[in-house]
Every structure is written in structure tokens, then in C-alpha cells.
Structure 1
Amino acid sequence: MMKRQDIVVLLKLASLEDSAKDIGDESTPLGLAAGEHPYSVRGLEAALGISKTEIGASLKRSIAAGLAIKDRKTDRPKPSRRHLREFIVHGVKFVFPAKPGAMQRGLPTAFAAPVLRESLHSAGNLICVWPYAHAKQMGQSVDPLFKSVPEACEKDRRLYAYLALIDAIRVGNQRESKLAADLLVHRLG
């Protein structure tokens, strides 16, 4: 059975792959200490704030569900982008629903995040945020897929964009969800 953090781990792997393609160097760290390999369980723990044990279990669940595969050359897990896109677009809203809650200080997500801010304007003044004490924005709280998401997103802008788009799918109406899903499909390739 999939857990919320599985999506976070898979999107971090996608972010690492995307960065490697852009830069041409698979060892480029995003929010990691020097010497840590970004694809290692320890590297993912440092980048995401998810324990090594939970990272390992997450990867096993994702492989069993068909949302990740083992790379033939490196033998490390990587997201099955097609299956991940299908699950996010058609299932995440139902499996991991979200509703805006109380006003709180936090990191902007969904339509208030940089990835969607210019594409879609909310009818109201309230934005959605992930609760985060170090942020300056006030808005309606939305529970992130995992508690360490705000910190992880401060280190990795691609991961931030992916997770904010997922939140737009989770909390948006049909038109907003479709726009976010289209952007996510495009970004996940």
C-alpha cells in the first residue's frame, strides 16, 4: 500500500534525473553535504528529511506498485514516469486528498507557488501554504504529502514545483486541476 512519502521520494528521484540531464552530471547534489551521492538512501534522507529506513521501504513499495523501476545500468531505483504521471493525474486527489485549513504561516503551495502563480489567479485573497515556521507568507494551511516537504522544497526548486502542482491537483476545482495536471505531465516528460 502506497504512502504519501512515496510520492515525495519518487519526485525527488525525478528531480535528480532532470538536473542530471540539464547539467550532464548525475552526481550533482541538490541540498546535500559534500561527498554524499544524491541517489543513495543516505543522500535522499539528507535531501528529504525522511529516515533511511522509510526511504528504503518507500522504494520497495514504489517498485512493487510499478511506480519505480531498477535502472539496468546502475541498479538504482528510478521513477517510471509514465505510471507516476498517470497515478498523480488520475489518483492522487482521491488517495491523498487535501482541504485548505486554518490560517497559518507557511511556504506557498498550489496556485500560490511560483510554478503556478503567473498561470492562474485565485478568485479570493487567500493562498494555500504548507505550514512552516520559517516562512513569511500567511495562508490557509494544506497538509503536505510529508511533514518535511517545506524544508526539502527550499533546497530543490524542481521538487517544489512538482509538489506544488500536485497540491493544485489535490485542492483545485476541475479547471485548476487540469491546468496543474497538464503542467505536471509536461514537466515529467
Structure 2
Amino acid sequence: VPGFPTAHSAPPLNKEFGKSELFVWEDVKEGKVRGQKIEPFHIGQIKAAKEDLKLYELLALVDALRVGRIREKKLAEMELKKRILG
């Protein structure tokens, strides 16, 4: 589906994983990336993520925990700890 990249398809993890298996929040109107659909937590999540890069990255990291494989989950966990705990 067309959408907005998330999980390891979005920053900051996309630098590590490239364009292997893409995951997106469905966005038919503005989605420029095609990938496997992940259901957002909230209906306003995509709009909020587009307006706030830090929020977008945190939500994408949480999605990597939801759908990622072991390596993606480990990197997402490390990055979240770094950002939350400092």
C-alpha cells in the first residue's frame, strides 16, 4: 500500500537497513512509498508525525519493536533507551 515509512523503513533505523522490506502507515493521498501496512496507534498519528520529526522517529522505533526481527528490535531498543534515558 502507499504510505508513510515506519519501523526500520523510517529514520533513524533506515540508515542501517536500507530498502529491504518496507513498512508504512497507509496514506493513500500523500504516500510516496509502497510497503506492508502497519496500523497506527491513533488516527491522528500520521499527521502528528509529519509535523514533529522527533515524535515520528520515536513512533517508528516503537513500530520496529512491534514488527521487526531480532536485529531491528535490538537496535530499536538501544535507540529508545538512548533517547529516553539519555
TM superposition score normalised by structure 2: 0.89
Cross-structure match for 1:128: 23
1:179 pairs with one of 62, 75, 80 = 75
Q: Do residues 168 (structure 1) and 37 (structure 2) align?
A: no
Q: d(CA) in 2 for partners of 1:175 and 1:121? A: 14
Moved over 4 A (4+): none
What letter matches 1:175 in structure 2? R
Could you say what secondary structure the match of 1:144 adopts?
A: coil
1:153 pairs, out of 49, 54, 59, with 49
Residue identity matched to 1:185: K
Which residue does 2:9 correspond to in 1? 112
RMSD: 1.3
| 2:26 aligned partner, one-letter code | P
Letter in 1 for 2:49: C
Aligned-partner Cα distance in 2 for 1:146–1:162:
14
Structure 1 residues 1-189: aligned runs within 5 Å: 104-121=1-18, 124=20, 126-133=21-28, 134-189=30-85
- 1:164-187 deviation line (CA, Å, top 9, x unaligned): 000001001122101101001101
Instruction: Give me the identity figure in percent.
Output: 38
Structure 1 Cα separation of the partners of residues 11 and 72 of structure 2: 15
Instruction: Provide the secondary structure at the position in 2 that maps to 1:115.
Output: coil
Larger Rg over CA atoms: 1
Give the aligned length: 84
Q: Secondary structure at the residue paired with 2:31?
A: coil
Structure 2 regions of 5+ residues with no counterpart? none
Cα distance in structure 2, aligned partners of 1:157 and 1:141? 20
Work out which structure has the larger RCO, using CA pairs closer than 8 Å and 6 or more positions apart in sequence: 2
